[in-house]
Structures are given as C-alpha cells and as structure tokens.
Amino acid sequence: MNNNAIMSKQTRRRDRLVQTRRTVIQGALAGGLAGFAGLVPLTRARAAADANKWPKDAFAQKNEADAIKALYGKTPEISDKVSLDAPEIAENGAVVPISVNTTLPGVTSIAIIVSENPFPLAASYPIPAGTAPMVANRLKMAKTSKVTALVESGGKIFSASKEVKVTVGGCGG
Amino acid sequence: MASTIRMRAVASGDTTEVQALVQHPMDSGFVKDAKGDLIPPHYIEVLEFQHAGKTVFTAFWGPAVAKDPYVKFSFKGAQKGDDLTISWVDNKGQSDSLVGKIM
Amino acid sequence: MRRALLLAMATLALAAPPVFAADTTNPQADFRAFRKYFTERFPKVPLNDFVNGPYSMDAGLRKQWEEIDAFPPYQFAVDKGKQMFDTPFANGKTYADCFPNKGIGIRQNYPYFDSKSGEVITLDVALNQCREANGEKPFDYNKDDMAALTAYMAFTSRGKPFAIEIPDDPRALAAYEKGKEYFYTRRGQLNFSCASCHVQNPGGHLRTEVLAPALGIVAALPIYRSEWGGMGTTSRRLTSCNSQVRAAPLKPEDPSYRDVEYFLSYMSNGLPVSGPGARP
C-alpha cells in the first residue's frame, strides 16, 4: 500500500519521526521524543502541562501521591461525575479491561493509577478539543489494588476509585 | 511485513469511534524468562492518532499497559471515507504507523 | 427350584464375560445423558452458551471477556494463520488441496476416525499430515505455528455446529470408549480426573480459576490465554491440564489425547464452534 499517495504534506513532514512505510526504525528516536512537539502547532494554547511529551517523571514515581503530583501538580477531589468501569475480580491481572467516562465539562486529560503496581501511573491521555472525555484500555495489575481514574477539568483534578481484586498477578506471578 | 496496528474506526453522524489494537510485547521489566533472567522493559510510550493533520488522541503509556494493547476513544469532526493516521513509538525507539479509513 | 434358577440367572448376569462390554458402548445414550446432566444442572444457561466455558458460568468474568473479545488480542494469531494457510508449499500446493471445501469452515468435523489407518485424526494431526505429504516438515504440536494455523481454521468455522461421526466400526467405538475412560479416570498426585473439575465442579473455583463445563469445552480451541500471553494449541492445553493435577503429561497428540478429544467433541455435537477462544 503506497502510504505516500494518501498522506498529506503535513504528515510527510513528520517522516523524521513517524515511518510511513511499514518498517521498524531503531534508535533514531532513542534520544527522546523531542520531535513530537512539532506535531502540534506551537500557537495552540494548552491548559495542561505540555501534553505532547511523554510524562517520564510521572511514570517513574513509585507511589500514587508522587505520581499524581508529578503529572498534575494538584490534589484530586472525588467526584461522582467521573465513572470508572473496572471488574470487581479481574479474571487475570495481565489483561484487565478498564474504562473511564465523565460528564465533567472542559476535560483536558484523563489518567489511570493502579496504587499497588510498582509504578502506579499506568496511562495518561491528553484530551484535545473535539475529542470525547472517554477512554477504554486494558491494563496490567500486579495484585489486588485500588484503581483510580483522574480527570482534569477546568484546571482542577477530579477522581473516582474502585478496588479490583486480582488473584493471578499480571507481572509474572 | 504486516503492520502491527489494527484499526476499526466507525463514523456515526459527526462522531467517530476508534478502536486500535497494537501487536507489541509491552514487557514490563518485571517478568523473568525461562532461564531466570529479567526480560528488559519494552513498551510503547506514545500512541498517536491524527485526522486531517490534527492530533485527535494521544495515549501516553507505561509498562502497566497490557500486552498487545488496546485503546478506544471517540472524536468529532470526521466523516466516513476520511483517513486516520495511527503511529506509535516505544522506549527502545522502535515505531510503526498505519493509515486507515474511517468507515 | 424357581428361586435357584433366578439366583443362577442373576449370578450369570453379574459375571457377564468382558465381550459384552464392547456391545454396551453406546455413544448416543452417553450423549443424551451428558447433555441432560449439564442442562439440568444449569437450566439458565442457553445450550449454545456452554461453548463459552467459564463465561457461561460467571457474569463478572463474562463482562471482561466480552470487552476483550470485541477486539481480541488473538487477532494477530488469526492473521498469521491466514497468511500461513494461503502460502503455498515449496512444491506449489497449498493446505486447501488437502482438505474438503478448500479447508475453510471445516473445523467442526474434527476429530474424525480414519478407517484406513484405524486412527483418530485431529485437525492438528491432519494439518501435519498435509505438510508431510507435500514435503514439508511437520509443526511442533505445542508451538506458535500450529496454534496460529488452527486458530485461523477455527475462525473460519465459527458458529458451525460440531458434527463428529463415530462410524459403525469396532475400532472407532473402541477409540471413543477409551477417550471416555480417560476422561473419567483419576490421575496425578492430586488424583483428579477431567470429570472431577469439569463435570463435578463447573462454575466452581479451583484456586483462582473458574472451571468450565465439559459440555462444549473443546469448542473454543485453540485458545489465547492471558496467562500465556499468546495463542496455544489443543495439545498445549491438554498437557497443562495434566501438569495441573501433577500427572505426567503425555506426548502431544498421544492416542489418549486424541481419544479424549474425540469423546469430548462428540459430546459437543450440535454446539457451535466458538474458537479461537480468549481465556484467562
């Protein structure tokens, strides 16, 4: 399939980072993801911290509070307007289907924390204008843990949590 | 070589629901191999979706995302027949991308 | 006098010589009894749902499975299997040349009894026979290649009702009976038979797993297990079932494994192929 024929000029400009041919590039981006900044026009105002960069610091935190602090710098307040759908008992900790939805307005970010994981921040999703404040994904859980959905709305952070029991751990036993 | 990305994007009126499944080991770095050695972490860090030159969704992932990861989201402003570009980069600098059609 | 005669007749009946045992193999009667047992024990489970194993038994598990199955991780194995299936052998022939209907939508007919060789032929065995007949090396019955190929073949057969035949041949009946016997025989340090878990305790927990009912249990094979992080063959599952009760596993596609698959597949007649299946 000749991707070049259907890719726009704009996307071809990003060839340096994103291969249009189905090959794997090694090492070219080993240095980091600085180039991703070029994917979104710099004139775009953002409420959240630079949403284009992979939040390295937050992913490296070993406890929930530090992960949230590194990601948002704010303390979340519990809100019943955040819906977290997660099983009561995970069939297998290696693949736990979890989804987040919210009726809060002006959502700019959704993140999911698994408190008992070695690195509590599991995933973070910047939400641009025009995109629904919703995400469904599949996560690994090392053991029974509280799972928390964080939603950034109007510059504040809201959360909802659920305890998910895990009998077969997702990190190798 | 087949793409690592599978996409299902369906437009319903102004809203397009997108599902993506990516073939990737998403090794956490905590699992040992048959010899007892730790398998080093190898996971997708960024998964990005673009429509008409605009980023409509980004996933920032860590090692706690399941193997052969999946994500679903929805956005407005596209219609049936439009292209959707999906691309990922992992912690080893490997990447892949796919351009698919919205149905 | 009469009493003595009755007593003699009773003794004779009890001491019936073994040759009568073969005459009592009655797969149709077994089938009816097996089905009755499960449908009566689980009256709320629709008959065709038994093929979904633990998900027919537990609502919480079912919801997770439905979410995963909507866009399942075994997609990649199925795609690989299709590519393998479509690729010709070195001699130019393809898998399609070995099978009826070009190999599409036929999984529900396996295993079958081959009168010529007197063997039970499972789908995996038939695929390797096809390979060898065309100058190719057979696949390891426990590894990814066979898993991908059989996943694709199950996928093209989804929904088709099992149609296992036991021809009127004493060898076929014997294979069926041996399979049945294997299923009900206790083994291993834990001294469990297949029936201990899958007939006596379906829906129950064995440590952390919810047990699948034996009715329809083969319909989802091969399976993608979250535990394996990948697709695994029928042989792999049977081997691990043995290990789990601390019994020495048999070689893949050992006659006993083939016979028990034959027995269980016959018991699933009429139920739809649900494979390849996602499991915990």
A19 pLDDT above the threshold of 60: no
Indicate whether C5 belongs to any domain: no
Indicate whether C279 belongs to any domain: yes
Nearest chain A Cα to C63, which residue?
A87
Chains that touch A (3 or more CB pairs under 8 A): B, C
User: Do residues A61 and A134 both lie within one domain?
Assistant: yes
pLDDT of residue A28: 40
**What would the pLDDT profile of A113-165 be if each residue is shown by its tens digit?**
999 999 999 999 999 999 999 999 999 999 999 999 999 999 999 999 999 99
Provide the shortest C-alpha distance from residue B80 to chain A (in Å): 15
**What would the pLDDT profile of B1-45 be if each residue is shown by its tens digit?**
579 999 999 999 999 999 999 999 999 999 998 899 999 999 999
pLDDT of residue A22: 47
**Could you tell me how many helices (H) and strands (E) chain B has, helices first?**
0, 7
A20 pLDDT above the threshold of 80: no
pLDDT of residue C4: 60
pLDDT of residue A171: 59
A63 pLDDT above the threshold of 60: yes
pLDDT of residue C13: 46
Q: For residue B27, what is the DSSP state?
A: B
User: Do residues A34 and A61 both lie within one domain?
Assistant: no
pLDDT of residue A46: 38
Greater confidence (C179 vs A34) lies with C179
Stretch B64-82: mean pLDDT, rounded? Answer: 97
Positive or negative CA dihedral for C40, C42, C46, C50?
A: negative
pLDDT of residue C144: 95
A7 pLDDT above the threshold of 80: no
Q: For residue A28, what is the DSSP state?
A: T
pLDDT of residue C37: 97
Give residue for tokens 């535990």: C227
Strands B15-22 and B70-76: antiparallel
What total number of domains does chain C contain? 1
Q: How far apart are CA C71 and CA C138, in angstroms?
A: 31
User: Do residues A113 and A149 both lie within one domain?
Assistant: yes
Indicate whether B33 belongs to any domain: no
Q: Is B62 on the interface with A (CB under 8 A)?
A: yes
Q: For residue A38, what is the DSSP state?
A: G
Q: Do B8 and C83 touch (CB under 8 A)?
A: no
pLDDT of residue B82: 97
- Coil, strand, or helix at residue A138? strand
Which chain C residues have a beta carbon less than 8 Å from that of A136? 67
Confidence (pTM): 0.83
Indicate whether B76 belongs to any domain: yes
Give the structural domain span for B84.
5-27+39-101
Indicate whether B57 belongs to any domain: yes
Indicate whether C14 belongs to any domain: no
Tokens of C76: 């990649």
pLDDT of residue C24: 82
Query: For residues A127 and A50, is the Cβ–Cβ distance under 8 A?
Result: no
**What would the pLDDT profile of C59-78 be if each residue is shown by its tens digit?**
999 999 999 999 999 999 99
pLDDT of residue A51: 56
Q: Is A26 on the interface with B (CB under 8 A)?
A: yes
A81 pLDDT above the threshold of 90: yes
Among A83, A103, A80, A94, CA closest to A149? A83
* List of residues 6+ apart from B61 with CB closer than 8 A: A123, B26, B43, B44, B45, B46, B47, B69
Tokens of A28: 């070219």
Give the structural domain span for C242.
27-280
Strands B83-90 and B95-101: antiparallel
What total number of domains does chain A contain? 2
What total number of domains does chain B contain? 1
Indicate whether C18 belongs to any domain: no
Q: Do C71 and B19 touch (CB under 8 A)?
A: yes
Q: Is the interface score ipTM higher than 0.90?
A: yes
Indicate whether B32 belongs to any domain: no
CATH number for the domain harbouring residue A128: 2.60.40.2470
Which chain A residues have a beta carbon less than 8 Å from that of B46? 33, 36, 54
Give the structural domain span for A16.
3-39
**What would the pLDDT profile of C148-174 be if each residue is shown by its tens digit?**
999 999 999 999 999 999 999 999 999
Indicate whether C6 belongs to any domain: no
Q: Do B94 and A119 touch (CB under 8 A)?
A: no
Indicate whether C61 belongs to any domain: yes
User: Do residues A92 and A14 both lie within one domain?
Assistant: no
Provide the shortest C-alpha distance from residue B91 to chain A (in Å): 7
Indicate whether A172 belongs to any domain: no
Chains that touch B (3 or more CB pairs under 8 A): A, C
Indicate whether B34 belongs to any domain: no
Q: Is B21 on the interface with A (CB under 8 A)?
A: no
Per-residue pLDDT of chain C (280 residues; tens, 9 = 90+): 566 665 555 555 444 343 334 458 999 999 999 999 999 999 999 999 999 999 999 999 999 999 999 999 999 999 999 999 999 999 999 999 999 999 999 999 999 999 999 999 999 999 999 999 999 999 999 999 999 999 999 999 999 999 999 999 999 999 999 999 999 999 999 999 999 999 999 999 877 788 999 999 999 999 999 888 899 999 999 999 999 889 999 999 999 999 999 999 999 999 999 999 999 8
CATH number for the domain harbouring residue B85: 2.60.40.10
Active site residue C98: no
